[in-house]
Amino acid sequence: MVGRNSLRNRIIDGSILAVLLLITLACLIPLIHTVAVSFSDKTAADAGQVLLTPIKTTTASYEKVLEDTQFFKAFWISVKRVLLGGLLNFVLTIMMAYGLSRDPKQFRMRNVYMWFLVFTMLFSGGIVPWFMTIKAYGLLDSIWALVLPHAVQVFNVILLMNFFRNLPKELNEAAEIDGAGPWYIMIRLFVPLSLPAIATVTLFSIVFHWNSFFDGLILMNKQEHYPLQTYIQTLVAQLSAQAMTSMSPEQLAQAMAVSNRTFNAAKIIISMIPILLIYPFIQRFFIHGITLGSVKE
């Protein structure tokens, strides 16, 4: 048996570590660059001189963001979307995953419904039928247009379903012998035992709703109804001549210290804060949940 400290194993371990380090840097460098731009002077940012460290550090862009009322309106719309969409995904994903995890003898139509779900992952009706359906229901320019079309996320259902199927069947049989019904078994037995997988799919749902921008661009006709990522996607931070003439000298000096690059970078950094705050609390469940739920018996 080859020793763990042999030259061959050390070369392999070093190569894996180097690849992982490169992947980590590839993920971190754009973020570090955006942070550096957001804290840099307008001239240096516009000239492309900023790389990984701020040049002539200033907080003018963040001060300008705090004055942007539309940014905070869009921020609040995204918060409402995450709360409503996340709750709806949470309830429907658990209910569907539990039903589909049952044996075909217990749920005769199980395979039929499963094929319906898989079909939606492979094929879709297209953007135009999707838009026309939402319009026909009168959901345009409402928060429900951003929430209801994504109420069931098939990947999350399959992930949680496989986790449920990996739980010992003896637990379910013992509960049935004791007289427990399906609702009681799901809520009091399966959900507590599946917290890692549920935390994982909840994180997926939160990140999806927070980062989604395209549906807001299509389904919202007014800018005041845009979620945060849609608003950031359509940012135009240029000052018009009319706006500049109505500013006080102090406001004009502050506006001239901010460029499109630094202003937009500051908004991007602020929009990332909620996910960065939530992730550490769910991260310990993440690897465990996605690993156990990804293998089918």
Report how far residue 80's alpha carbon sits from residue 145's, in angstroms, rounded to the nearest whole number. Answer: 12
Dump the DSSP string for 203-269: HHHHHHHHH--HHHHHH--SGGG--HHHHHHT---PPPHHHHHTS-HHHHHHHHT--HHHHHHHHHH
Please tell me the predicted confidence (pLDDT) of residue 83.
92
pLDDT at 19: 92
The pair of three-digit structure tokens given for residue 140, joined into one six-digit string? 């345009």
The whole-number pLDDT of residue 239 equals 42
> How far apart are the C-alpha atoms of 297 and 165, rounded to whole Å?
8
Task: Give dist(CA 111, CA 106) in Å, integer.
Answer: 12
Q: Give helix 7-38 / helix 260-292 axis angle, nearest 10°.
A: 140
Q: pTM here?
A: 0.71
What is the Cα–Cα distance from 260 to 235, expressed in whole angstroms?
9
Q: Find where tokens 């309830």 sit.
A: 91
SS3 179: coil
Burial of 139 (0-12, 13-18, 19+ CB in 10 A): middle
Q: Which of 241, 220, 246 is nearest to 73 (CA)?
A: 220
pLDDT on residue 245: 52
Q: CB–CB of 151/90 below 8 Å?
A: no
Closest listed residue to residue 34, CA positions, set 242, 254, 265: 265
209 neighbors 81 (Cβ within 8 angstroms): yes
Tokens 């569907």 -> residue: 96
% helix, strand, coil for the chain, step of 5: 75, 0, 25
pLDDT reported for residue 185: 85
Q: Is the separation of the CB atoms in 237 and 61 below 8 Å?
A: no
pLDDT tens for each residue of the chain, 297 residues long:
445 567 788 888 888 999 999 998 888 888 888 888 888 777 777 777 777 788 777 777 777 777 778 888 888 998 999 999 989 999 999 998 888 888 877 788 888 888 888 888 888 778 888 889 888 988 888 889 989 888 888 888 888 888 888 888 888 788 888 887 888 888 888 888 888 888 888 888 888 888 888 888 888 888 888 888 888 777 643 444 444 455 555 554 555 545 567 777 777 787 777 777 777 776 666 555 454 544 444
**pLDDT computed for residue 128 by the predictor:** 87
Could you tell me the residue ranges of all domains in the chain? Answer: 60-292
Q: What is the distance between the alpha carbons of residues 34 and 262, in angstroms, rounded to a whole number?
A: 8
Report the CATH fold assignment for 60-292: MetI-like fold (1.10.3720)
